[in-house]
Copies of this chain bind each other. A is one copy, B any other.
């Protein structure tokens, strides 16, 4: 696996509302065309923080591979804006499996191949009594995300997604799209064999159906957003038995479904 991380922000000259020139930073965004066994699969637009993990997470999330062990190598070369994946045994029926398209609009027109919806009923999250989270943990997670230094602070216009175990931040990925950020988290988990059952995902982006499905595929039962949720995201979370929280900021949050996983504490309730 290459380590082709690249510059995440670029300086740009702008003119402000008063007509004055100044220099600000913008998040970088690059096309990365994914080839699997020399076959072109898709072009992802990414910030480039961890492109190899993004590619792995994408293949896993799309169900094109079941396990990272199926992959022999991932080579990212920014000169040609390409990621070449070689598998040990090829991918059965890759042509048909990448043929159906759903253009979703979790703020973009996101692509999910049709198959993704078909197997959600096979996804199993841990029972609420085995995956509880305290109100205190939730508030600390929100605060940790708020304080994290990253591209967003320098340049704005990116989404961050972070994986937590209790109040410990395990990994935070920023990307131009929150879908790529969560796919990259998925790649990271797969490479380390990390299980999602006792984890929490927090994202700065909205919780759309795609985000909920992606989190469920990672086995994460509690998903929190600084932003809101869509009706479809909520419907899927209910069907999956996921705990979904939004509008998480400062000492506030809204739990849309799955509040049986949250342990409220009398001492804290007065503060919220």
A15 touches B259 (CB 8 A): yes
Contact-size category for A = 35 or more
- Asked if A49 lies at the interface with its beta carbon under 8 angstroms from chain B, I say no
A residues lining the B interface (CB < 8 Å): 10, 12, 14-19, 24, 26-31, 42-46, 98, 101-112, 135, 138-139, 155-157, 159, 175-180, 205-206, 208-210, 227-234, 247, 251-256, 259, 262, 264, 269-270, 272
The docked-state distance in angstroms from the alpha carbon of A208 to that of B15 is 19
Chain A at the B interface: mostly helix, strand, loop or mixed?
A: mixed
A-B contact pairs, 8 of them (CB 8 A): A12-B256, A31-B232, A42-B103, A45-B103, A45-B106, A104-B108, A105-B180, A156-B247
Q: Are A208 and B29 in contact, with the CB atoms below 8 A?
A: yes
Q: A42-B102, A43-B102 are in contact. List 19 more A-B contacts (CB 8 A).
A: A15-B262, A17-B251, A17-B253, A17-B254, A18-B272, A19-B135, A31-B232, A42-B103, A45-B103, A45-B232, A46-B105, A101-B111, A103-B111, A104-B108, A106-B108, A107-B107, A107-B108, A108-B109, A108-B210
**A255's closest neighbor in chain B, by CB?**
B15
Query: How far does the alpha carbon of A107 sit from the alpha carbon of B175 in the complex, in Å?
Result: 8
**A140 to B178 CA separation, bound complex (whole angstroms):** 32
- A175 and B105 form a contact (CB under 8 A): yes
